[in-house]
Copies of this chain bind each other. A is one copy, B any other.
Amino acid sequence: MNQSIICPRFEKAVSLLSQRWTTLLIYQLLSGPQRFGTIQSSIAISGRVLSERLKDLEQQGVVKRDVIPETPVRIEYSLTEKGFSLEPILKEIENWSQTWVKKEELDD
């Protein structure tokens, strides 16, 4: 059978971006550092999964976690260079959506 092997780097990138919420989460952080609660209220993700994703993305070097010793303590999540470098992909998706997603499909 036609076993044209798919590039493993590409596959890895796809598996990153096709985890539920990951793309929206990164999109959200493109507008600047944000706290756990802010992210949670801007996309419909549950706390359980947000916490999981942030840890995961931190480990992959896409997101950075900063503890700011204010009072009360503040935790800020932001994109690393690797994280910001995803912007062109998101822009392409945005672009595509403007042309191809019709009003009628927006009832989810």
Contact = CB atoms under 8 A, between A and B. Distances in A.
Determine the interface band of chain A, counting residues with CB < 8 A from chain B. Answer: 35 or more
A89 B90 CA distance: 8
Interface in A13-48: 13-15, 17-24, 27-28, 31, 34, 37-38, 41-43
Interface string A1-23: 11110111111111101111111
Q: What 5 pairs across the A-B complex have the smallest Cβ distances? A: A13-B97, A9-B97, A9-B101, A1-B41, A89-B92
16 contacts: A1-B41, A4-B31, A4-B42, A6-B42, A6-B43, A8-B106, A9-B101, A10-B94, A10-B97, A12-B105, A13-B96, A13-B101, A14-B27, A18-B18, A85-B96, A86-B96
